[in-house]
Amino acid sequence: MMRSSSSKSSSSTSFEPSLKRPLPKRGGGGWLNVLLPYCQKPEIFPKSEVYCYDDEFVIIYDKYPKAKKHLLVIPRRYIDNVEELKKQDLELIRAFKEKGQGIIEK
């Protein structure tokens, strides 16, 4: 079940390893500095920035949209680069598709 960004409850996620990294300042440049805070603490951002989130994903509005409706589906699990993905991550990729499709169908 996806939570609205207005939910203020904290949740544990599979994002734990990245919590060792300091929370970057908003707007600090670079995709990691900009997107990582949304994954770590989506509940601190306004509804105008975070569409929804759950323990696996955060869905945010793109700040530089290329279409009328342009959302980013971001895993809360820290993935440094695509080369880190293994065969066992196929379910994560499927979940990306399902989340995106669910948003499209709303």
Tens-place pLDDT, residues 55-106? 999 999 998 889 888 999 999 988 888 888 999 999 999 999 999 999 888 8
Burial of 54 (C-beta count, 10 Å sphere; 0-12/13-18/19+): middle
Tokens 């989506």 locate to 42
pLDDT at residue 47, as a whole number: 95
% of the chain exceeding 90 in pLDDT: 44
Across 24-42, average pLDDT: 74
Phi, psi of 84 (to 5 degrees): -70, -25
pLDDT at residue 79, as a whole number: 85
Measure the CA–CA gap between 101 and 97, rounded to whole angstroms.
Answer: 6
Q: Which SS3 state, helix, strand or coil, does residue 60 take?
A: strand
> How many Å separate Cα 42 from the centre of its chain?
8
Quote the pTM value: 0.68
